[in-house]
Amino acid sequence: MASRTCQGGVTTPESNIFEKYLNRGTVFQDKSVLTSSYVPPILKHRDSQINDIANILSPLLNGEGASNVLLWGNTGTGKTVTAKYLGNQLKTILECEREGILINYIYVNCQTADTHYGVLYGISTHLYSKEEVDTGIAPPPTGWSLDRVHQALKKRLGDSKRVTVIILDEMDMFITKSGDDALYSIMKLNESDSPHGGKDIQSPPRVSIIGIANDISFVDLLDSRVKSRFSNEKVHFTPYITDNLQDILSQRAKLAFREGAIDDSVINLCASTEARVGGDARKAIEILRISGEIADRIGEKSINTDIVKKAYNAIERDYVTESIRALPAQSKHILMSVALNAEAGIERQTTGDVYETYQQLCRKTGLSPLSQRRVTDLISEMDTQGLVNARVRSFGRGGRTKEIALALPNITNVKNVLECDEFLSSMNGFKVKHQTTLV
């Protein structure tokens, strides 16, 4: 652990216990540059994507509606940052060059706002002032009917001087889970609501959607009307290669770290490591941040490759323990069952195997067991979280079922984390009984 003596220009030898943290030097100059909300002034290596999107959005400059676009590619390939960057550019140029035209540039993350209502509400938060929220003119976070929120949005956006761009980040998971109702209702904002030419002073809004997704297979789930209007324009974000990442990282590092706190060898290590697994700039930047934090904690003045390796381990470990800890009790029981089976020598298990053990475990801990139907859903959820690997497979006459295995290397570790749960702490001495035969 840390040394007991104060060091480095500290004048009071015995004082507050936090003193040593306070006075310690730091490798950081501006840590905020390494957070995900930071948008750099120039984006390198995304020229072709930026051009494509700008081209699609260009009608907005004349106050005309533009097509919807779908940005897709692996995580950390710059989709979000590009969308935000273009928003800034659009706003600036409209302010300087086109007096009459105003733009709403609205960002909604569909992982956070993951319901139909949540997405509409997320849009609305960009459109109302504080007073309007306080006086109840703006939609509340919950309580109104969807229709009412929809009408309110339509009214807000229907201004002939105004164009609107809505960014829907992480929309693939959302659509897969919740269907395309929300997307459809956003597109309906563009429709005039008086079909018989009644006297509406309002013009229909001009709303363009920028969708962001990792995986575009969700497009097939869309209703054909939605699909044709939504997925005509697709822009692919390719993974970064080592050189790209080096550029991006050193651009950040220059701003984030003190002179001499980081050198090229470290940046090259991060760049090449990430380039090998998916060209993820977010992860690479995060590694830099964690490395810096570790360096500060252990009192190093600069980041070396050893520290980077520590950062890689820390990031992995924290992710796993955190996601296990955050699991609901039922999922913890299921995961424990998988771990127990694995420990008993059944690495690849069927749904039946897991459910059997799960029921026994529930009997022991006093949790009331869920139906098998529900359990398979929870297993699939843990599969997408990367805690478990589950894919359906057919064993011919032996049936068709998920084949499930723990996705984590260290079984004992998993069990230890799980045993912190209040239910599972009462499972001392539980033994799996029953063998299945499965090849």
Ligand X SMILES: Nc1ncnc2c1ncn2[C@@H]1O[C@H](COP(=O)(O)OP(=O)(O)O)[C@@H](O)[C@H]1O
Question: Which spans of this chain sit near ligand X (rule: CB under 6 A)?
Answer: 36, 38, 40, 43-46, 75-81, 237, 248, 281-282, 285
Residue with tokens 């869309």: 222
Displacement of CA 13 from its chain's centroid (Å) = 45
What is the smallest separation between the CB atom of 280 and ligand X, expressed in angstroms?
8
- CB closer to ligand X out of 213 and 327: 213
* Helices (runs of H) and strands (runs of E) counted in the chain: 17, 8
Residue 155 binds DNA (CB under 7 A): no
- CB closer to ligand X out of 235 and 335: 235
Q: If contact means CB under 5 to 8 A according to the sort of partner, which of ligand X, DNA, none does residue 285 touch?
A: ligand X
- CB closer to DNA out of 9 and 396: 396
Task: State which of positions 399-418 bind DNA (CB under 7 A).
Answer: 399-402
Least Cα distance to 90 among 229, 171, 187, 210 occurs for: 210
- CB closer to ligand X out of 17 and 42: 42
What is the smallest separation between the CB atom of 73 and DNA, expressed in angstroms?
25
What is the smallest separation between the CB atom of 346 and DNA, expressed in angstroms?
12
Candidate residues 73, 76, 78, 118; the one interacting with DNA per rule CB under 7 A: 118
Q: Which stretch binds DNA (CB under 7 A): 37-45, 52-60, 293-301, 347-355?
A: 347-355
Q: If contact means CB under 5 to 8 A according to the sort of partner, which of DNA, ligand X, none does residue 380 touch?
A: DNA
What is the smallest separation between the CB atom of 77 and ligand X, expressed in angstroms?
4
Q: If contact means CB under 5 to 8 A according to the sort of partner, which of DNA, ligand X, none does residue 80 touch?
A: ligand X
Report the alpha-carbon distance of residue 151 to residue 124 in Å, rounded: 11
- CB closer to ligand X out of 33 and 414: 33
Report the alpha-carbon distance of residue 330 to residue 210 in Å, rounded: 37
What is the smallest separation between the CB atom of 188 and DNA, expressed in angstroms?
14
Least Cα distance to 403 among 337, 356, 350 occurs for: 350
Candidate residues 115, 151, 214, 413; the one interacting with DNA per rule CB under 7 A: 115
Q: Are 166 and 208 in contact (CB under 8 A)?
A: yes
Q: In degrees rounded to 5, what are phi and psi of residue 349? A: -120, 155
Candidate residues 352, 364, 411, 415; the one interacting with DNA per rule CB under 7 A: 352
What is the smallest separation between the CB atom of 217 and DNA, expressed in angstroms?
12
Candidate residues 41, 136, 197, 429; the one interacting with DNA per rule CB under 7 A: 136
Task: State which of positions 362-381 bind DNA (CB under 7 A).
Answer: 370-374, 376, 379-380
- CB closer to DNA out of 86 and 370: 370
Report the alpha-carbon distance of residue 381 to residue 376 in Å, rounded: 9
Q: Which stretch binds DNA (CB under 7 A): 194-202, 316-324, 333-341, 348-356?
A: 348-356
- CB closer to DNA out of 244 and 349: 349
Residues 316-345 as x/- pattern, contact with DNA by CB under 7 A = ------------x-x---------------
Report the alpha-carbon distance of residue 335 to residue 354 in Å, rounded: 9
Long-range contacts of 40-47 (CB under 8 A, 24+ apart): 40/81, 40/85, 40/251, 40/252, 43/78, 43/81, 43/82, 43/85, 44/244, 44/247, 44/248, 44/251, 45/78, 45/240, 45/244, 45/247, 45/248, 46/78, 46/82, 46/237
Q: If contact means CB under 5 to 8 A according to the sort of partner, which of DNA, ligand X, none does residue 385 touch?
A: none
Candidate residues 13, 396, 409, 429; the one interacting with DNA per rule CB under 7 A: 396
Report the alpha-carbon distance of residue 349 to residue 211 in Å, rounded: 38
Determine the straight-line distance between the first and last CA of the chain, rounded to whole angstroms. 49
Amino acid at site 62: N
Report the alpha-carbon distance of residue 155 to residue 342 in Å, rounded: 58
Report the alpha-carbon distance of residue 418 to residue 342 in Å, rounded: 15
Q: If contact means CB under 5 to 8 A according to the sort of partner, which of ligand X, DNA, none does residue 330 touch?
A: DNA
What is the smallest separation between the CB atom of 281 and ligand X, expressed in angstroms?
3
Least Cα distance to 81 among 118, 111, 50, 48 occurs for: 50
Report the alpha-carbon distance of residue 150 to residue 188 in Å, rounded: 9
Residue 128 binds DNA (CB under 7 A): no
What lies within 8 Å, CB to CB, of 105 at 6+ separation is 87, 90, 91, 164, 165, 167
- Count CB atoms within 10 A of the CB of residue 164: 27
What is the smallest separation between the CB atom of 73 and ligand X, expressed in angstroms?
6
- Count CB atoms within 10 A of the CB of residue 337: 25
- CB closer to DNA out of 386 and 399: 399
If binding means CB under 7 A, how many residues of this protein chain bind DNA?
A: 38
Q: If contact means CB under 5 to 8 A according to the sort of partner, which of DNA, ligand X, none does residue 299 touch?
A: none
